[in-house]
Structures are given as C-alpha cells and as structure tokens.
Amino acid sequence: MTAPPTTVDLPAVRRAMWRAVLDGDAHGACDVVFPLLDGGLDAEVVLLDVIAKVQAKVGVEWAANRVSVAQEHAASAVNDRVITAVLHHPAARVEDPGRRGRVTVACVDQEWHALPARLLAEVLHLRGWRVDFLGAQVPTPHLIRHVHRTGPLAVALSSSIPTRLPVAHAAISACQATGVPVLVGGAAFGPDGRYARQFGADAWAPDAREAAGILERGLPPTGMETARQAIEDLPHLGDQEFTMVVGTARQLVKQTMVDLEDRIPALRAYTEEQRHHTAEDIAHLVDFLAASLYTDDPELFTRFITWMASILTARGVPATVLRPTLDLLGGQLRDFPRAGHHVERARRALTTAAPAPATSGSQDAV
Amino acid sequence: MPGSERTPADPGRTRPRRSATWAEAPYPVVVADRAGAVVESNDAALTLLPRLRPGAPLDDTVPGWLAASHARLTTPTGDRDDVPAALPGPRAGTGEPVEGMVGDRSFGAHATRRGDGDVVWWLVETTDVRLAEATLAEERRRTSLLAEASNTLLASLNLERCTEATARLAVQHLADAAIVVGPPDGRSLTVTSCATGHPVTRRLVRAEPDIVPGLREALEGFPPVPSRWIDPAALPDWASAEGFTGPVGSVVVTPLPGHGVSAGALVLLRHGDHARFSQSEEVFARLFAARAGAALSAARMYGEQAAITATLTRELLPPTLTQVNGVEFAGGYRAAAAHERVGGDFFDVHAGGDASAETLAVIGDVCGKGLDAAVLTGKIRNTLHALLPLADDHERLLNLLNGALLTTEHARFATLALASVRRDGGQVLLRLTSAGHPPPLLVRADGRVETAATHGTLVGALPTVRASTAETVLQPGETCLMFTDGITEARGGPLGEEMFGEARLRRALGECAGLPAEAVVERVQMLATSWVDSHRHDDMAVVAITAPRHAHLSAVDGHTRGRYTA
C-alpha cells in the first residue's frame, strides 16, 4: 500500500468532499476524488482517508445536531455511490483478483450502518481477496448458510451499536462452530475491543487497515468447533438479570413513563409525538442497560448515559429528565443487584461529569 | 559401578541358605549384599534370570535398573552421583517399588533389608497390569480422538473444509502424511494432502485410481486391502504430501464410506523409520474413516442441496435497483422469517428501451408467506415481463395479468402498484396505478407528502380488475415511494404491539425531501425494522423512484455490490 503523495492535501480534499456529500451531490463528490485517482493516488487512500473520514464526520455532526438524520442517510447514499464509482476507476484495478483466498464481510443482524463494512470489503478486494459482502443486517442463519456454502478463510463482522452485542456474540459463536475464525470491528465492541475478547472472537480490529493486516497475517482455523453457549463466555448471565430486563423491557418502559408523568407534571402536557419520543428514549435506555448487563460492564451503560445527555443538550432538550428516569428505573429494578449497580454508576456519572463531547456512541465507524 | 571397591564375597556366605519360606515362593526373590554381590535366590528367580549365582556381581546377572537400585539403596545418600537419577530409589524397607523390564516382561522390584544388611529383592510381575493400563490409555486416547474428530468433522457442512479437516486430523493422530482422494469425477481425482507440520493442499490430478494399490477397491467400497500387501514403492508421485520427505515405510488405504456411495478414500503414509501400522491401528484408521466418510457425505449432500436451492431461488430474489434512464430507483426487501430470503412481496423495474421510453416499476404482495408465496411472485413477475409492451394502459395490463392468474390452480390473489416512469428534462413523469395495494406516496420538495390518487381492485380474485391511473410529475429531489403493508402494519414500538402506521411513515417521509432514492429506502426500512425490533413481522418491501437533484444525465451507479449475494 502506498502512502498518499505529499502533494495531496487530504484535509482540503475532505472538506470539498464533505460539502458535496452534504449537498447529496454524488457527481460533485466524484469530481473531488477522480482527479486524485488520475494523479496516481491509491484507491485505498481515497476509501479510508477521504470517504471513511467524511462518513465518520457525519456521525459527529449528527450528534452535535448540525446535520439531520435524513442528511445522514443521504450522505451514506452518496458515499456508497462514490465508492462504486471509485472502484470502477482504472486506479482500482486489482492484479490477479481473489489471489489471497475468500473471505466473508457482513454486518450483524439489525445493524444498519453498512458503510464501514462495505469499505472493509472493498479494501480487501483491492488487496487481492475474493470478498463476499453480505451487506447490512444479515440474519445469522443467512450468514451461517453462506459460510457452509462458500467455506471462507475468515468472517469479518461489523457492529456499531452496543445493543446488538448479544446478536453479535451469537453470530461469532455460530461462525466459530463451523470452524471459521471471526474478526470483528465497529464501535459496538468497545473502545479497545474488550467485548470482542470477552466473546471469544479470534481478532478485533479498530479500523479497516488493521483488519486487512490481520487477515493478511492469517487467522488460524479457530479450533472452537464445539459450539459454545453464551453463558460459557459470560458466566454472570447465570444471575438471570439480563434475561429478566430483556423479557420485561416493555413493562419497564411503560411503568417508567407513568411514574415520570407523576414526577414531572410538565410531561403531561406533551403532544402524542413528544410522549412517543420520550418512550423511545426510555426504551433505548433499557436496551443499553440490557447490553451492559450482558457484558457485565457498567461502563457501557455509563458511556451511553453521558453520551445521551450530550445529545439532548445539543438539541436543546433539558437532560434533567435523565436523572429521574434513572431513579425510577433503579426503583423498579430493586431486586436486581447488578442492574441496580449499573444504574447507580450511570446516575453518579451524570451528576459529577460534565456532558462528554459527542463523539462516541452509535455513530462511530469501524 | 565402582565394582573395584567391592569386597570379595565371603565364601562362607555363598552357600545357599534357602531355609527361608520365600525359597518356594512363586515370585522371584534375589538377595544381595551391601557390596552388590548375589547372596542367594529362589527357583522362580533362577527361571527368570538364569545367570544368578551366589557371589556373582549383580551387574552381571540382573538387569541394570535393578543393579543400580541396589547400589543406590546400599550406598549412604549424598555421595552417589554416578547412579542414574532417573530410577526411583526405594528407601530401606519402606520405599516404592522400582519398575523395570526383564526381557519383554515388566516387574516391580520391592526391597526389604535383612538384619545383616543384605537386601532382599522381591520381584512382582506387572506385565499384564502394564499392558492393561497401556491398552486403557490407548483406548482413552482413541475415544477422545474420535470425539474430537466428530466435533471437527461435523462443524462444517462445506465439503472442502470437511476434507481438509479429515486430512489434518489423520496427520495429527494416525500417520506422517494423509491423502484424501475424492470420489472419481470423470478422469480426474481431487487430492487433498497434508504432512505433519505442513498446511493442507488441494489439487486436481488426472489419473486413474488403480495406479495406487488398493485405491480403486477403496473408492468402490470394497473391503480395504491389508497394509502389508501394499508396496510403498508402487505409489505415484501425487500420492504424497507437501513436506513429506524420504522413503515411504508403510501405507494404509481405507475407504471413506458415505451414505450408500463412497465418499472417497483415505491414504495414510508413514516414514521408513516409523513403525508399520499394526492391525489395531488399521482397525482404528477404519473407525476414523467411517466418521470422516459420514461427515463428508453429509457435506456433499448439503452442498448439492444448497446449489439447487440457490439456482431455484435466484429468480425469486428481489433485484438490485440502480439508476435507469436518468431516474433513480432503489429497493429494499426483508422477508418475514429470518431464515428465509424470499417471500410474498416482490418488486421489479423494467427499463424502457431508451430515455424517451417509459420504465415500468412494479411492487406487489401475494397473499401468504414463504416459498409458496415466492413461487407465485415469480409467476406474476414473469407474466408482467411478457406484458411489458402493453404497459401504456395499466388497467388493461392488470386485466391480462388477472386472466392469467385466474386460470392457474393457485387459489391466491395479489395486490400490485405500477409506476410508468419517464424523465423529461429535469422532471420525472409518472403514471401510477394501484390494484388493491396501498397507493404510492409522493414526497414533495417542500416536505409535503401526498397520496397518489389511484384506486383499484386486487388481481387474481374477480373476473375483472377496475383501476384508475394517476398522473403526476416529480420535480428534482422529489420521490415517489411504493411500499407493501408489511411496513405500515409492522407491530412494535417502544411500548410494543403498536402499529407503525401510515401517519408515522408520512412523518418520516416528510424529512426525506431532496434525498437520493437509496437514502429514502434505507430510512424507511430502518425505521420499520427498528420498530418491530425482535417481534415477528410480515414481508416488507419498499421501492423509491426519485428525480435526481443534480441534473447530470450520466449515472453515478449507486448500486450496492452484492447486497443480496448471500
């Protein structure tokens, strides 16, 4: 892989690209990167140092309420088109494609952020792998069927949202049970990939370059052919707290809504849509609590709460509603010591810490 | 042994004192003095060690391990570093027995000390116990190997991976090199080979199986040819493995029995200096081969079935939509069941011959779910394709389709929405018709969401279809969204059991003005799937038709490679 020529001002390229992407202008975006490819810039640099960076910026800007969700989708669509165009450029021609062997790249089920996985798939393609890219939200049965049918040397799984961790864990174990090693990436696995290790993944990569490097060095066949159950990796699941919180999530949300209206009378004046948004936020919060119980990492829930506080602040919604919500949730989970501990940790973080900069959470790229 | 330090045996003590009861004992007993000379022994000992003579040094008459133990026992500890330390030394009278071989039998030697300082060695034969223990250990090893082999072999339903696992396991546990020969396919053989410490390699060889002695028999399922009948020198070059060097000492060729037919054959090689395969090893190789054969056979059957399914469903999968004649098209599909990829919803885009001709987009919903419904969607899609030239009149097209559906024995009906699309300058002209289907929604540039004014009856139920067609224009950045009721009727939400509903869909679309078609589809799909979350849902399909905001006629192909390649 070549380093970007010194003549290319990548930050300037990214700024130009950002304007085109935000404008939904795929042609304009192509006009930014094509001259660079014509000038001999490595296609991988365009994919990872321009497109991936721009996409990551979309997430940051969304968190800061400077772009809308719709613009975020538009940006992904434009980036997706630009990637396709870049790959048709002569600079992206691959010598002896597929020479390194076959790998599968997929997002775990319910994972919508396909772009990081697609970028990895294209980088691997450029580096000489035969890549089956299965796209966003791949149900685990599809993935396994594909693995049986094609016998890849490795499976690369992407997940950005921690609430999908149980699904990701199941997918990892299922792939390994077929004898195929699994490389994982994405913000869901924690800043240092700690959940990847916890789930027994064969490797974790913080970005696409590292992932490609790991695959090039080779992952040994996993040797975990006997299917593991989640509890063997996560003995704390034996206390049933995760199971109970997931099983009663809807009731928890309903009860918290009712109690919250008692405590904050202003809520009663909310429109149907506003109430709905509040219910969605609480449901999200319960989902993250479940994920934090699943991994037995109270930090996961605390990170989410401080991130949510910063998101709400950025949108001019008073984050003051978070504290009472946590109080009420903690009250309902009185009989669950581990859940209570996680909620209490988050509550304390909310009081002591200033809102964290809105860079982590659901929007990070692989 | 410091024999020179030994005092000559006292002649008076060479006389056997066989008054002791042990003289008649069925166990060999040897008495030796502190100097390491034999004092006396019984008949059993003489039978075992015929060179025993009173006065003779132990070194010359008993195996070294026993002489060494005796020396260690009779020497004060601390100054005897010339005694092999590997032998456990008994302490006087109380020590552990020493184990050792006499010829091909094994004995435990127990020492007791007599008052005069002589040591009495009692030899207890342990040959049977040792053999039983060795057999038990071997059986355990084999059982655990077979269990491991089953786990490994059953893990993958991929024939290549399963074959590699067979070769690797065989090398780990049975031989120095292993070659798995697949069932003959035409005139070539698939040869997967592996040698100790080397990776598995796979290649095709043009050869007849009878070039390897016993291979044809194995591939045809005859009983295996005994190893000793196979001349290693007769092996062709390909019947070896990368990294296996030196002459072949012995060969075993074992059938891999499949389900009714041969799953191939396993050839095991050992180096010239490595022991030949014993009969029990050959039997064990067959046990292993039986498991491997069953797994390979299952993998082959799965592969064949999967290929058939893939071929049959290829035509039923939703197509990947791209830009056509200057108009953006994007589609998204999610089948009701996680394990299925096709269902009763479908969509298609039939491109017009050129930019001036209309492109026909269709979305539909067949009653029912799963493969049965999918087969009917295939029929409808084919029929519509054939009726394309008549697409200028939607109602007539629907009636022709209706007639075709009524005459088939499938007692099913379908709802459809049709869109004839043509770009005119920066605008996109649309003719929209709904036949019992939710009418398409139009997302205007200012964020208003309109319902297309089209109504009609479903197809495949009544003798005629009545439908009205709405005409409209999309300005740059505007989108026409066609969807199935799987989206609007999705149940879930934060409180559960609530319907997603058209109002929520319209609200979401209100934020989608100016977005590319793929972004609108992604937004709608994401909202609907996160709404249902883990709840059960119906098939969901959505198609967006968008007038590009940026008036380039040449398309940047937004097609997402391989989204449906699974």
CATH number at residue B21: 3.30.450.20
Residue of A34, A81, A161 to mutate, interface with B, max B Cβ within 10 Å: A81
* Min distance A69 CA to chain B CA atoms (Å): 9
Q: What is the pLDDT of residue B170?
A: 92
Q: Is residue B552 included in any domain, yes or no?
A: no
Q: What percent of chain A has pLDDT over 90?
A: 64
- Please give the residue that has the higher pLDDT: either A17 or B4: A17
Q: Is residue B564 included in any domain, yes or no?
A: no
Least confident range from A61-65, A119-123, A285-289: namely A61-65
Domains of chain A: 6-93 (1.10.1240.10), 97-233 (3.40.50.280), 236-352 (1.10.490.20)
Q: What is the pLDDT of residue B80?
A: 44
pLDDT(B563) > 50: no
Q: Is residue B318 included in any domain, yes or no?
A: no
Q: Is residue B418 included in any domain, yes or no?
A: yes
Q: What is the DSSP string of A315-331?
A: TT--GGGHHHHHHHHHH
Q: What is the pLDDT of residue B179?
A: 94
**All residues at 6 or more sequence positions from A149 whose CB lies less than 8 Å from its CB, including other chains:** B158, B303, B306, B310
pLDDT(A356) > 50: no
What number is the average pLDDT over the span A24-37?
91
pLDDT(B472) > 90: yes
Using an 8 Å CB-CB cutoff, list chain B residues near A116.
none
Interchain CB distance below 8 Å, A179 and B559:
no
pLDDT(B496) > 60: yes
pLDDT(A214) > 90: yes
Q: In which band, very low, low, confident or very high, does the pLDDT at B20 lie, cut at 50, 70 and 90?
A: low
Whether B267 and B342 share a structural domain: no
A25 Cβ under 8 Å from any chain B Cβ:
yes
Q: Which of A28, A141, A151 sits opposite B160 (nearest CB)?
A: A151
What gap in Å lies between CA B151 and CA B274, rounded to an integer? 29
Using the structure block, give the residue that is written with the tokens 């005069």. Answer: B116
pLDDT(A167) > 90: yes
Tell which of B125, B152, B167 closes a domain.
Answer: B125
Whether B162 and B271 share a structural domain: yes
Q: In which band, very low, low, confident or very high, does the pLDDT at A152 lie, cut at 50, 70 and 90?
A: very high
Whether B240 and B265 share a structural domain: yes
What number is the average pLDDT over the span A213-238?
81
Q: What is the pLDDT of residue A366?
A: 32
pTM: 0.80
pLDDT(B51) > 60: yes
Domain with B434, as residue range(s), is 328-546
What number is the average pLDDT over the span A178-188?
93
Q: Is residue B388 included in any domain, yes or no?
A: yes
Q: What is the pLDDT of residue A200?
A: 92
Q: What is the pLDDT of residue B77?
A: 59
Please classify residue A163 by burial: count the beta carbons closer than 10 Å to its beta carbon, then call 0-12 exposed, 13-18 middle and 19+ buried. buried
Under 8 Å between Cβ of B59 and B51: no
Whether B384 and B529 share a structural domain: yes
Whether B141 and B106 share a structural domain: no
Using an 8 Å CB-CB cutoff, list chain A residues near B494.
250, 253, 276, 279-280, 282-283
Tell which of B95, B125, B155 closes a domain.
Answer: B125
Helix axis angle, A249-263 to A322-332, nearest 10°: 130
Q: What percent of chain A has pLDDT over 70?
A: 92
Q: Is residue B194 included in any domain, yes or no?
A: yes
Interchain CB distance below 8 Å, B156 and A70:
no
Q: In which band, very low, low, confident or very high, does the pLDDT at B10 lie, cut at 50, 70 and 90?
A: very low
Q: What is the DSSP string of B19-56?
A: TSGGGG-SS-EEEE-TTSBEEEE-HHHHHH-TT--TTS
What gap in Å lies between CA A185 and CA A121, rounded to an integer? 12
pLDDT(B549) > 90: no
Closest CA to B478 of B548, B408, B380, B396: B548
Q: In which band, very low, low, confident or very high, does the pLDDT at A321 lie, cut at 50, 70 and 90?
A: confident
Whether B341 and B404 share a structural domain: yes
**Mean pLDDT for chain B overall:** 85
pLDDT(A6) > 70: no
pLDDT(B95) > 80: no
**pLDDT tens per residue, range B515-527:** 999 999 999 998 9
Q: What percent of chain B has pLDDT over 90?
A: 48
Q: Which amino acid is at B557?
A: D
**All residues at 6 or more sequence positions from A299 whose CB lies less than 8 Å from its CB, including other chains:** A292, A345
The encoded tokens of residue A213 equal 């490097």
Q: In which band, very low, low, confident or very high, does the pLDDT at B83 lie, cut at 50, 70 and 90?
A: very low
pLDDT(B456) > 90: yes
What number is the average pLDDT over the span B450-459?
95
Residue of A126, A145, A167, A175 to mutate, interface with B, max B Cβ within 10 Å: A145
**All residues at 6 or more sequence positions from B175 whose CB lies less than 8 Å from its CB, including other chains:** B252, B268, B269, B270
State the count of interchain CB pairs (< 8 A) between A and B. 160
Least confident range from B116-120, B362-366, B478-482: namely B116-120
Whether B156 and B300 share a structural domain: yes
- Please give the residue that has the higher pLDDT: either B533 or A177: A177
What number is the average pLDDT over the span A190-196?
94
Q: Is residue B467 included in any domain, yes or no?
A: yes
pLDDT(B8) > 50: no
Whether B282 and B335 share a structural domain: no
Using an 8 Å CB-CB cutoff, list chain B residues near A104.
none
What number is the average pLDDT over the span A142-150?
92
Residue of B500, B559, B560, B564 to mutate, interface with A, max A Cβ within 10 Å: B560
Q: What is the pLDDT of residue B18?
A: 52
Host H or E run for residue B328: strand B328-334
Q: What is the pLDDT of residue B561?
A: 33
Using an 8 Å CB-CB cutoff, list chain B residues near A80.
518, 558, 560
* Global ipTM: 0.84
Q: In which band, very low, low, confident or very high, does the pLDDT at B552 lie, cut at 50, 70 and 90?
A: low
Q: Which of B155, B516, B522 sits opposite A179 (nearest CB)?
A: B155
Q: What is the pLDDT of residue A5?
A: 53
Whether B363 and B488 share a structural domain: yes
What number is the average pLDDT over the span B285-302?
92
Least confident range from A147-156, A189-198, B543-552: namely B543-552
The encoded tokens of residue A250 equal 């809807």
pLDDT(A73) > 70: yes
CATH number of the domain within which B337 lies? 3.60.40.10
pLDDT(B9) > 70: no
Using an 8 Å CB-CB cutoff, list chain B residues near A148.
156-158, 302, 306
* Min distance B199 CA to chain A CA atoms (Å): 11
Closest CA to B475 of B500, B450, B494, B501: B450
Q: What is the pLDDT of residue B411?
A: 65
Closest CA to B541 of B347, B379, B288: B347
Please classify residue A99 by burial: count the beta carbons closer than 10 Å to its beta carbon, then call 0-12 exposed, 13-18 middle and 19+ buried. exposed
Q: What is the count of structural domains for chain B?
A: 3
What gap in Å lies between CA A162 and CA A284, rounded to an integer? 11
What number is the average pLDDT over the span A330-355?
87
CATH number of the domain within which B217 lies? 3.30.450.40
Whether B235 and B87 share a structural domain: no
Least confident range from A270-279, B350-359, B460-469: namely A270-279
Q: In which band, very low, low, confident or very high, does the pLDDT at A25 lie, cut at 50, 70 and 90?
A: confident
pLDDT(A32) > 90: yes
Whether B176 and B286 share a structural domain: yes
What gap in Å lies between CA B183 and CA B160, rounded to an integer? 13
Helices (H), B407-473: none
Interchain CB distance below 8 Å, B494 and A279:
yes
Whether B432 and B512 share a structural domain: yes
